[in-house]
Amino acid sequence: MNPLWPMPGLLGAAASLALAWAEPVRAEAPAPDPALERCEGDTGTRLRFLEGSLGGDRRYADLWWKSWSTVFVGGIVVQGTRAGLEGDEGQRADLIVSAAKSGIGLARSLWSPPPARLGAAELQGMPTGTAEDCAERLARAEEILRRNAKKTASERRSWIPHAANLGLNLAGAVIVAEGFHEKDGWVSGAIGFAVGEGRIWSYPWQATNALAEYERRFPASGVPHSPPTTWHFESWGAGARVTVRY
């Protein structure tokens, strides 16, 4: 057994420790956008809560994305280099498979970063000069928070990422252990699965909590509903007319 085989696991553990440290210190939300001072009443209160939550969650999401991307880059470089220097065919296959799994992880990380890392940036620049402007910004803020919460559910709670993680590492283990008769393939597969689960469960989850708190404080959406369209007949001079209100 190569003494350096746990390297991807060590990198993953380092990322988990960094994220565990980051969570207690992430809570400081940025100062509210001065433009929100022009949004009054319930709309302004909701906006300040939403934008504060989005901005406060940004740091953890950004650190999570950068940490795991670094883990995958390290796996590609370290395991790929070791594979090129390894003389044993089975060990070399194990290292190549590990580097390939890191490459898949990096590609997914770059293709689909957590939207929470944008914070409230998507709201910056939206006007707040009128009540209608504030309502439009509120609608967008609610949409962003719900999108982030939905993404969290799909990344952490759905069976799909867990099954994909298991399938990828099981396939790698079978290739190495059965195809090249290298028993370390099963160990590497188990480590890879554990690292993958660490990534899944550490995925930014704060949007789910923020949405629950928002809906607890503000039971109904703060976006004004358009009045229903109604029509009726009424007398008008010697005849009648239809009046439509919308």
| Residue showing tokens 């995925």 | 203
pTM: predicted TM-score of the whole model, two decimal places: 0.76
Q: Using alpha carbons, select from 231, 36, 5, 25 the residue that is nearest to residue 120.
A: 36
- pLDDT (0 to 100) of residue 35: 79
- Domain spans, the chain: 7-245
Reported as a pLDDT band with limits 50, 70 and 90, residue 225 is very low
Measured at the alpha carbon of residue 161, what is the angle toward residues 25 and 122, in degrees to the nearest 5?
Answer: 50
User: Over the stretch 15-58, which tens digit does the pLDDT of each residue have?
Assistant: 554 555 445 444 455 666 777 888 888 998 999 999 999 998 89
Structure confidence at residue 129 (pLDDT): 87
pLDDT of 4 strictly over 50: no
Q: Select the more confidently predicted residue: 22 or 120.
A: 120
**pLDDT confidence of residue 46:** 93
Classify residue 8 as exposed, middle or buried by CB count within 10 Å of its CB (0-12, 13-18, 19+): buried
Q: Where are the alpha helices (DSSP H) in the chain?
A: 7-25, 41-85, 89-111, 131-152, 159-174, 184-201, 206-217
User: What mean pLDDT comes out for the span 96-105?
Assistant: 94
Q: Name the DSSP class of 158.
A: S
- Residue with the larger pLDDT of the pair 188 and 27: 188
Half-sphere exposure of residue 219, counting CA atoms within 13 Å on the CB side?
0
The Cα–Cα gap between 64 and 58 comes to: 10
> How many CB atoms sit inside 10 A of residue 71's CB?
26
Out of 60-64, 125-129, 239-243, which region has the weakest mean confidence (pLDDT)?
Answer: 239-243
Mean pLDDT of 148-160: 94
Pairwise CA distance, residues 180 & 198, whole Å: 28
Q: Tell me the CA end-to-end span of the chain in Å, nearest whole number.
A: 75
Residue for token pair 């992430």: 26
